[in-house]
A and B are shown apart, each in its own frame.
Chain A
């Protein structure tokens, strides 16, 4: 496989990988790094890529696993770094201009969800993958996805309504 073949095969979903990485790692820079890393790995295994049914699902799984490893390494190092400690210049700017913006509230609500639910919301409501594709990416049964998805959506709704009624998160 030459470089242009490789590019046409794997570049179309670059932004999806990036968005998934950003969902997990929060910071823009870490997400860019992760994306670069994934493409490097894909390039190294470029001969094997054609044997996969869905290169996109494969790359998404790689991204997910890579990001979870990064998070694990961060949390097990002496200095404990929580997601919130990452600085995201964009987010900061958003916050400054629009402190009580509903959109950033939703952002926070989703990031506070358990890992699996967070991933499913990202893949379904943002990327519009089918349950089958999500099952492939996350390596779980499609039936389990519906339950988690419903739970995640309801949690977001509940907290959003609470926030609107009483002004608390």
Chain B
């Protein structure tokens, strides 16, 4: 192909209007050694494309990744056992009268302890109530300043 045609094709190429076939002939043209100096850039471009096209994956593809079935029943059995154990232990059981009494006692004791804490907190609060006076005084001063 003569130079004139190549230049025309290149223009089309950069407008995205060349066909796959025309691009192949450009590729072929630029794969030769002697290319006019003003087309050197394009030569590297086309050289890059053809080297990239030649790149291949080097790994073997494995599609069969199934594990042998032999040991899988073991994991299922283990899961079932675990499930039964959990259900067994967490299922609600009725309390005996003795246990019921103990639980009520524990509840009362807890409430008592909470009340004690609350009372003491109140005492502490009362002790520092006079601090509010400072607040009142401060408010007065700052109002004046405004």
Interface residues of A (CB under 8 A from B): 3, 6, 11, 14-15, 17-19, 22, 31-32, 35-36, 39-40, 42-43, 102-103, 105-107, 124-130, 145-147, 149-150, 153-154, 156-157, 160-161, 164
Contacts and interface: CB of A to CB of B under 8 A. Distances in A.
Interface string B17-46: 100100110000000000000000110110
Contact of B16 (A11, A14, A149, A157): A149
B59 A106 contact: no
A35 B61 contact: yes
A33 to B, nearest CB: 9
Contact of B48 (A6, A35, A106, A128): A106
Contacts of A129: 20
B45 A156 contact: yes
- Give the interface size bracket for B toward A: 20 to 34
Nearest to B41: A160
Nearest to A32: B59
Contact of A3 (B53, B57, B64): B64
22 contacts: A3-B63, A14-B61, A17-B57, A18-B55, A18-B57, A32-B59, A39-B61, A43-B63, A103-B48, A105-B44, A106-B45, A125-B23, A126-B49, A126-B52, A126-B53, A147-B16, A150-B14, A150-B17, A153-B16, A157-B14, A157-B45, A164-B41
B58 interface: yes
